[in-house]
Structure formats: structure tokens, C-alpha cells
Structure 1
Amino acid sequence: MKSTTVKPTVGRKSGPARGVRLIAGLGAMVAWGALLAAPAQAEAVPGETAATVSVPLRQAVADLPVADEDRTGYSRSAFRHWVDEDGDGCNTRAEVLVEEAVTPPDVGDGCRISGGEWDSYYDGQRVGNASGLDIDHVVPLAEAWDSGASEWRAERRMRYANDLGDARALVAVTARQNRSKADKDPAEWLPALSDAHCRYVTEWTAVKLRWGLTVDTREREALTSLAAGCPDETLTVEQAP
């Protein structure tokens, strides 16, 4: 069968995907307070609309709840991935690769990807082969576990590990950068490209807020210092379902 260039039907939301929107208002701030007050392990009620909140980046960092981290009982297998949630034959890894390609790849039988080009924003490298890319969880699975996901049900952890609802959650980067990062937080690791730091801090903060995750003291200090040197643009986050 001849391979064709395709676009997955699920994809990720493009609105807040690549940074910020300049949105303000009292109503948004009230919603933000309600979001932060919710426990990290809270599950959405079926039929409810997810809350969307907007707040300046530095305030968002300041509002992150602080708690000690605990990795007791962690196993990567507690976060099932990569899944084909929509049943179109392409798993989460493939969905991200197709969406983030700067030169669209060919996608053949069994969602086999060939050709295409990608820009790894962590190090500014152009990559011409999907096998040279990892799909990074911006907030690593182990870090999520430490920060509240240990209290979640398995189904919610699976949704976290395959989050296509916000393009800041998963990113295609060079394998070297992903493996250098491992499970480190921004107090321990930042992208090799210094120009990428503000984007990275924004995306890290957005993911923590989206999923109601906490930060530890050193992580908060690092985020605060980094955000101080970034544009204080408004961060828009939709609470995870």
C-alpha cells in the first residue's frame, strides 16, 4: 500500500500549545483560585466542563503549592504509554511526531513514519529521522509521581502519560537531550539552548498547573528565578479532565 502524508484526527489543542495568551479578568482569577484549592488527586465529574484559567507567569509560579516529594513505590509502568486512544492506528508517540514535524513525514501502514524533519527546541537541532527523537514528558513521569500522581488512579496516570490535550505536555526532542534530562526538575536540569529556557519554564509550570501537581522548595526557587528573567506574559491553562 502506498504511504501517504496524514494528520492524526486527535492531535493536541493549538490554542495555549506554544506559550501564552494575553487574557485577564476577575472571573479568570476566581477560577484560578478554585483550581489551586482542588486536591491533586481530584477526578473530574463526568459531564462537567474543565476550568480554564489565566494568570501571569510569575504569579503562576508563586501560586504553585509547595510540598515535599516522595518517590516511594514509583514504577514507570504505573503510567501506561504509548497508547492509541482514538483507535486510528497511531499511538501517542506517532501523534506527537506527525504534529510537530516541520516537514511532514509519510505515514504508512501500521502508522509507520518515514521521512519528515523536526526541530528539537531543547538544543536547536534539526532532525531528519524520527528514530533520533524521543517524546519527552515535559514534567517527567517520576516527577509527577513525586508531586501528587502517586495518589491518582491508574486511568488518570495513563491520561497524564499520553496527554494530547495540551501541546506543552509532550514534546519531540533529540534523544540525547531527553536522556540527559531523565527525571530531573528545573533546579537540576535545563535545555542546552539558553534561548529555550523561558519556553521550558512556561511549559513546565503549565503542566504542573493543568494536572494539579505540587513543587518542592528547590524547584520553586529555580522556577521563580528563571521566570524573573522571562516576559511576564499570561499563562492560560485548561484543567485536565
Structure 2
Amino acid sequence: MITTTVRGLAATALTVLPLLGTTPAQAAEPLPLADAVQQLPLAVESREGYQRSSFKHWVDEDKDGCSTRAEVLIAESRVTATVEPRCKVTAGQWYSYYDGVTLPAPGGLDIDHMVPLAEAWDSGASQWTAARREAYANDLTAKRSLVAVTAKTNRSEADQDPSTWLPPLADARCTYAVDWVATKLRWGLSVDEAEVEALAELAEGCGQEVVEYEPAA
């Protein structure tokens, strides 16, 4: 049995995956949530040609034996996770902020792409290279690109955006809006009219929430 945190190793590898040899991006200036929403590019979405397999995910980018899913579980456990051989995570303590549920075992957890893969495709990822889509689907560098949440809430969200789905826990919605906007800005993804209207309405009730992000390489 091992009890170690390895998420940072994969994150380092993924930082340079899309464009090898480039200089790492610098963090953008923090913005109030309402201002950050206005920075999102507006475009009509299209799902034409989407396949989930277009985003290769849960890879072991740094070849340490742990998949992206395992690395997120290890990093987000509030206690030291129990990790068996072959990086099988068997116990820990995870707080699903979407619904305020704490779980002691990973079986009831999904790793949610903050902006779902289909939504990313609709919003610009359809034009990316396969390598960049893989980097997006396994983004361990940004804290909230991937988040462990209850399978129930992840599957209720499915491929929806904030115009049609919000976390069931009301207290989580401002955090969710910040994470959503930060992820879209990080990856240069667009929003449609209904989405930006929903985000702007959320921002009105989110006080001093600030969006911080580092553009993906």
C-alpha cells in the first residue's frame, strides 16, 4: 500500500503537452466574476461531429502508474488517501461541493470535467488538435478543471451549461460559476447567449467573487 500525492507530476507534464517548446503561460490578472463573464467570447455553439472519444482521457501522462482519475482522487482527499498497488485508490475523504456530500470511498465519485467535454467541443474544442483535446481532458494544472463530485450530481449535469443546470446546493453556485468561467477563459472557449446571460445573473448575486486563471499553453 502507498499513500502519496502525485498530481503535481502529471500536471507538469501536461503543461507542455499541447505545444512543446513554448514558454509557459503567465497567470492572467484576477477579475471580479461579473467582469470575467464579459471577457468570454460570444459565439454560436455547434455539436456537429462530436464524439466523446475525441478527448482521450484518464491517461497516465507522467507514466507513474496513476491515471488522471486516480491523481485527482489522491489530490482532493481531505485525508491521506489509501492507495493500493497499481494506483488503486480505495479510501480517503472526499467532499463533493456540488451537493455538500462527504464520502469515505471513491466508488460513489465521478471526476467531473468542470466544462463538460461535449460543451468544450461546442465552444471551440472541435477546432483543436487531438493533443490539445487530450491536454484539456486531463488538465491537472488548474485546480478546478477537474473535480471529484458525487456520481449522481455529475450525471445530472451531463453536458449542460449553467443556463440549464446548476449544483443542487445553493451555496455552491457562486463557486461553480467562478470555476466554469475560469475554465472557459483558461482554454479560450466561447459562450452562447443563454449561457452568458445565466452567468451574468449568477454574478450579480456573488458579491466579491474573483476569477483567477492561467491560460493553457
Task: Tell me the TM-score normalized by structure 2.
Answer: 0.93
Structure 2 CA distance for aligned equivalents of residues 175 and 123 of structure 1: 11
Task: Report the RMSD for the aligned CA atoms in angstroms.
Answer: 1.5
1:10-21 aligned at under 5 Å gives the runs 10=8
Q: Paired residue for 2:157? A: 181
Q: Paired residue for 2:2? A: 4
Q: Which amino acid aligns with 2:27?
A: T
Per-residue displacement from partner, 1:123-145 (whole Å, max 9, x unpaired)? 00011110110000010000000
| 3-state SS, counterpart of residue 5 of structure 1 | coil
| 3-state SS, counterpart of residue 201 of structure 1 | helix
What's the offset of the Cα at 1:45? 7.1
Long gaps (5+) in structure 1: 14-42
1:1-241 aligned at under 5 Å gives the runs 3-8=1-6, 10=8, 44=19, 46-54=21-29, 55-241=31-217
Q: Which amino acid aligns with 1:7?
A: T
Structure 2 CA distance for aligned equivalents of residues 45 and 123 of structure 1: 39
Q: Is the 8 A contact 1:11 1:164 kept in 2?
A: no
Q: Which amino acid aligns with 2:151?
A: A
Structure 2 CA distance for aligned equivalents of residues 132 and 232 of structure 1: 33
Q: Paired residue for 2:15? A: none
Q: Is the 8 A contact 2:10 2:60 kept in 1?
A: no
Q: Which structure has the greater CA radius of gyration?
A: 1
Query: How many aligned positions are there?
Result: 210
Q: Is the 8 A contact 1:10 1:86 kept in 2?
A: no
Structure 1 CA distance for aligned equivalents of residues 42 and 51 of structure 2: 23
Long gaps (5+) in structure 2: 12-17
Q: Paired residue for 2:14? A: none
Decide whether aligned partners of structure 1 residues 204 and 12 sit closer, same or farther in structure 2, where only a CA change above 3 A counts. Answer: farther
Q: Is the 8 A contact 1:4 1:106 kept in 2?
A: yes
Per-residue displacement from partner, 1:66-93 (whole Å, max 9, x unpaired)? 0000000000000001101111100000
Q: Is the 8 A contact 1:11 1:95 kept in 2?
A: no
Q: Is the 8 A contact 1:96 1:172 kept in 2?
A: yes
What's the offset of the Cα at 1:193? 0.3
Q: Which moved more, 1:106-115 or 1:45-54?
A: 45-54
| 3-state SS, counterpart of residue 212 of structure 2 | strand
Q: Is the 8 A contact 1:118 1:127 kept in 2?
A: yes
